[in-house]
């Protein structure tokens, strides 16, 4: 991993068009400003990890038979529509 030390106000540049600047550092909390092209998705890491975790859970727990669940789904839907 590349490790860079930056002061408040300083930035790093990734590729040609992504800039990450340290805006504020107070009590263990660092505020970062990210300038990136629109097509570059920027998320907090935990959001990604949350989806990875949910995907893994979804893949792990698939049941052998979905028929009774399909039935329950349509019953539930009808009930909601009432």
Q: Where do contacts with other proteins occur on this chain (CB under 8 A)?
A: 38-41, 43-44, 47-48, 50-59, 61-63, 66-70, 72-74, 76-77, 80
Nearest approach, Cβ of residue 9 and other proteins (Å): 29
User: What residue has token string 């068009």?
Assistant: 17
If the CB atoms of residues 8 and 34 are measured against other proteins, the closer one turns out to be: 34
Which residues pair with residue 27 across a beta bridge? Answer: none
Cβ atoms of 48 and 55 closer than 8 Å: no
User: Using CA atoms, how far apart are residues 9 and 69, in angstroms rounded to an integer?
Assistant: 55
If the CB atoms of residues 16 and 61 are measured against other proteins, the closer one turns out to be: 61
User: Using CA atoms, how far apart are residues 65 and 35, in angstroms rounded to an integer?
Assistant: 48
Nearest approach, Cβ of residue 22 and other proteins (Å): 24
């Amino acid at each position: 991993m590349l490790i860079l030390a930056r002061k408040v106000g300083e930035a790093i540049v990734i590729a040609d068009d992504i800039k990450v600047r340290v805006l504020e550092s107070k009590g263990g909390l660092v505020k970062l400003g990210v300038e990136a092209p629109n097509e570059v998705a920027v998320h907090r890491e935990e959001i990604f990890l949350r989806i990875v975790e949910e995907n893994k859970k979804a893949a792990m727990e698939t049941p052998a038979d979905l028929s009774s669940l399909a039935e329950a789904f349509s019953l539930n839907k009808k009930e909601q529509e009432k």
